[in-house]
Amino acid sequence: MGGEKTTSRFFTPGEEIISPVDDFDIPLLSGDDEGSRDSWDSLVDQRRRDAVFREVLQSYDQLRTRIGSLTDAKNKILSYTPGAWIENVGGMTLSDYDVPKTTSLLLIGPKGSGKSSLVNRISKVFENDKFASERAQVTYNSSVGDGTYFLQEYTIPRGSNSFSLYDTRSLSDDASDNINMIKLWIMEGVRHGELVIRRSDSSSLRNRMRCKAHKIGCEPSVIRKVNFVIFVVDGLAVLKSMEGDSDVEKQYNQIVATTFNCPYLSFRDDKPVVVVTHGDLLSLTDRARIRTYLGELLGIPPAKQIFDIPESSDPENELIIVDMLRYCLEHADRNLSCKSCARNKV
């Protein structure tokens, strides 16, 4: 980035937000006027994008007005137990669901997206000891290896059984590798300490990692069912891919879109939440642009399902983290599977 702010194609901070098409009247179209129809569709699409961008930009201001509710919001998360937020609909009650002992949230994302750093930031929000060491190993040079090779479970807060985060191996450039990896986790569950090997891994890498797993030699841990997914992306990489012209530059967002739309990541109609990292290196306008773009690319509401979590520990950032966790836990409970006897009853 060279210290320069990327120019926004929407608006700049502080200016009055006016749609680029507000000065135009949308024309009435004749039935055969395809050119006018395309123009009309373009104007409508632009107005819709501008409205979404405004909503996202305003969400940052709304967040500041809610800082006073941070303590209550954190206590809400701390009091959570699996199944506590189930909605009793369709004649079903809590006893009709397969409620896990621990709700498991799976973190996935491309290399260098900041999954392990996100685990540490989330953990710090609920730590009494602010000087406690970071729990997840962070890779500071994503060009060296893939970072996390073994699935790692982190209970939140530390020592609790209410819910846990699973840090995973980074996504591959090979779409089939990603689909197979995700299918395995969703269909068969996740296990702390399990080695993640992909089809495309070289034989030398496989041998090296298996040797490392053998040295660790820990007892098999509990297999947990994945209850919801957090999809983590690097805001800088998304912006670069948005503005890139070559296929290589566009590849990052293509991998994100292809993997995000993998059917195994959806729980009924609920798609994963998206967390955008490294926003502290971008202007507020670009952060809003990224969320707006991802919302359209992935088909989810950017102001409600895409969370901008930069590298900071201020109250605003803590509130965003708490909001994100509440969204995940509510949707995890909402999508719990029914017991077989309950299905028969229905």
pLDDT for 176: 93
Q: Which residue has the tokens 């957090």?
A: 230
State the pLDDT confidence band at 183, using cuts at 50, 70 and 90: very high
- For 127, phi and psi rounded to 5 degrees? -85, 130
Q: How far apart are CA 187 and CA 335, in angstroms?
A: 15
Q: Are 319 and 66 in contact (CB under 8 A)?
A: yes
> Which stretch, 37-41, 190-194, 295-299, has highest mean pLDDT?
295-299
Q: How far apart are CA 305 and CA 219, in angstroms?
A: 37
**pLDDT average, residue stretch 120-133:** 85
**pLDDT average, residue stretch 181-195:** 94
Closest to 313 in 3D by CA, of 170, 147, 120: 120
Q: How far apart are CA 55 and CA 57, in angstroms?
A: 6
Over the Cα atoms of the chain, what is R_g? 22
Length of the chain: 346
- Where are the chain's structural domains? 57-335
C-alpha distances in Å from residue 345, one per residue of 86, 90, 336 = 18, 11, 17
| DSSP secondary structure of 260-297 | HT-GGG-BTTBPPEEEEE-GGGS-HHHHHHHHHHHHHH
**pLDDT average, residue stretch 13-38:** 48
Closest to 181 in 3D by CA, of 203, 166, 165, 162: 166
For residue range 74-110, list pLDDT tens digits in order.
Answer: 999 999 999 999 877 777 888 889 999 999 999 999 9
Q: How far apart are CA 180 and CA 200, in angstroms?
A: 11
Q: How far apart are CA 229 and CA 270, in angstroms?
A: 10
For residue 308, what are its two tokens? 């901008």
Q: Read off the pTM.
A: 0.84
CATH, domain 57-335, list 3.90.226.10, 3.40.50.300, 3.40.50.970, 3.10.520.10: 3.40.50.300
Q: How far apart are CA 144 and CA 139, in angstroms?
A: 8
Q: How far apart are CA 87 and CA 102, in angstroms?
A: 18
Strands of the chain (E only): list them.
103-108, 152-156, 163-167, 190-191, 223-224, 228-234, 273-277, 306-308
For residue 229, pLDDT beyond 50? yes
CA 310 distance to own-chain centroid? 13
For residue range 270-328, list pLDDT tens digits in order.
Answer: 999 999 999 999 999 999 999 999 999 999 999 999 999 999 889 999 999 999 999 99
For residue 228, pLDDT beyond 90? yes
